[in-house]
Structure 1
């Protein structure tokens, strides 16, 4: 349990880096950051596969590779596509609040779906943990809520953005549950090799995405990327390439590796709640980058998030009779 908690914490620290990338590269559109991240993930997975995981990858069957492709397609590309489109339609506040419900949604779905395999966390004991996490997320995103309430926009665009954000939540609720299914069913397999496998199947998808993005940029300038964007890597090419390489290695490969290790050791209903570590890491990095101290409401929200996770860790799963 403790080792699984530490791996989940490490994954959150890695994934939090993704949320500061747009702040560090403000002139780069979300589509460029998404394609760049997963292209780097795939390219980094190639030497790792040859040097570290060649034997373990040879043991994977065609069905395993198909499962890795599904996980990568839904958990990486489709998730970010829906999230980026939601932000474009409704702005950042509304999608951010909807995505923030992920720890609660995953915990509820997994606690019902995997009760036979992982044991059932009694709802009466799980409810306080989920309530603390929900309250913490609300406080952490209070500024987003206030901004959303003050905005006057097109109701149709808000509705479309909300639906796309809900689709993103569905994608990343499906991903950790299915990923844990494979890892728990193959407890003898290496979580590191499974992370590398997902990177390998990501590479052709990222290459196709890069080609499509390039065609759109040439055919319809200004649609996905600003019309004055300097091809191929923008005005800060070294910063872009370096940051994408760092995120591809740390957030994609190393983050997936740590999450796989946690998923093999923890009930999915518990590991789902531990995604709050990603929120906490993203907050810490953002405040550090902007050289600001968090307001009291944010600090109170962090305390509630940590309290919710601590409460959940004390609950022992009950095996069905």
Structure 2
């Protein structure tokens, strides 16, 4: 007997999975930078960083859509604008405000740990979609993910900390809030993208940016009311540069990679790709603290990587039965 070559659908599915994972890793590398941003402008209240980032995001998005604005004004329905407002607030404004507060109050490691549970939350919700890989097949991947998160959490709790208990609690609650906020966004945004046939994923991202930029204007006066500290010209310049960099790298380039990935992978595997954000956030945190990971942290990296590999394997074995859906990250 002669060996038969893989069928065209199987080869296409394998290539799409590989390309999707690469795009997911690239998006995670850029999104991990948002965990460092609050540390770079620690003298400012999180409201300033949130409003600055999304003002730039809105301006860049408006510039990209300007040549076709009349088209979108005529084709985007009132219900879709309302959805954009809700998704922009939950997935961008509220999410990053809570995440920035968590980083400044509890640190990068603790925040990364809590946000690291995003893959579990999204994968569980995604497993209910028609054609999705069952939770039974995803169980090894989810258990490895949870074990990695436990390792990071144990290390964070066991290590001596100079952060007051009240600040750690504030950071923890803020991180949990960010987790809930983004999970709501991811599910809602995914389902909107699936039923849109007249708006591309990239244009939906830019429309979200325009709406979010408009919403961020409300935060500016609130930021000045809450933050009474004096900031010199150097600090304001640093805030502007950090806000612009995060807006472009994370919200524009990172989202573009994520949207490309979302066209190639199902929601259950999309959830696992968020692990790259956690991994890169921790790596950047170690570089910022100028240290190597501890044993438990290294074990967590290994477990999380194995979680992604086993999840990819589960989807590859499912083949063309996996249903491709769209999702977009807020960061």
TM range (shorter): 0.7 to 0.9
Whole-Å separation in 2 of the counterparts to 1:165 and 1:266? 27
Whole-Å separation in 1 of the counterparts to 2:176 and 2:287? 30
Mapped contact 1:187–1:264 kept (Cα < 8 A)? no
Residue 218 of structure 2 is aligned with which of 196, 208, 225? 208
How much has 1:73 moved relative to structure 2? Answer: 0.5
Q: TM-score, normalised by structure 2?
A: 0.79
The equivalent of 1:47 in structure 2 is: 63
Mapped contact 2:46–2:97 kept (Cα < 8 A)? no
Indicate whether 1:134 and 2:146 are aligned.
Answer: yes
User: Counterparts in 2 of 1:109-124, with a 5 A limit?
Assistant: 109-112=125-128, 114=129, 116=130, 119-124=131-136
Indicate whether 1:57 and 2:58 are aligned.
Answer: no
Q: 1:303 to 1:97 in 2, by over 3 A?
A: closer
Whole-Å separation in 1 of the counterparts to 2:298 and 2:91? 30
The equivalent of 2:94 in structure 1 is: 78
The equivalent of 1:91 in structure 2 is: 106
Whole-Å separation in 2 of the counterparts to 1:197 and 1:32? 22
Indicate whether 1:34 and 2:50 are aligned.
Answer: yes
How much has 1:46 moved relative to structure 2? Answer: 1.8
Mapped contact 1:4–1:262 kept (Cα < 8 A)? yes
User: Counterparts in 2 of 1:275-294, with a 5 A limit?
Assistant: 275-294=274-293
How much has 1:150 moved relative to structure 2? Answer: 9.4
The equivalent of 1:301 in structure 2 is: 300
Whole-Å separation in 1 of the counterparts to 2:173 and 2:286? 29
Give secondary structure in 2 for the equivalent of 1:230: coil
Q: TM-score, normalised by structure 1?
A: 0.81
Q: 1:151 to 1:179 in 2, by over 3 A?
A: same
How much has 1:200 moved relative to structure 2? Answer: 0.3
Q: 1:262 to 1:178 in 2, by over 3 A?
A: farther
Mapped contact 1:56–1:193 kept (Cα < 8 A)? no
RMSD between superposed Cα atoms in Å = 3.0
Residues matched between the structures, number: 301
Q: 1:285 to 1:28 in 2, by over 3 A?
A: same
Unaligned runs of 5+ in 2: 1-16, 324-331
How much has 1:84 moved relative to structure 2? Answer: 4.7
Whole-Å separation in 1 of the counterparts to 2:98 and 2:242? 23
The equivalent of 1:224 in structure 2 is: none
How much has 1:170 moved relative to structure 2? Answer: 1.6
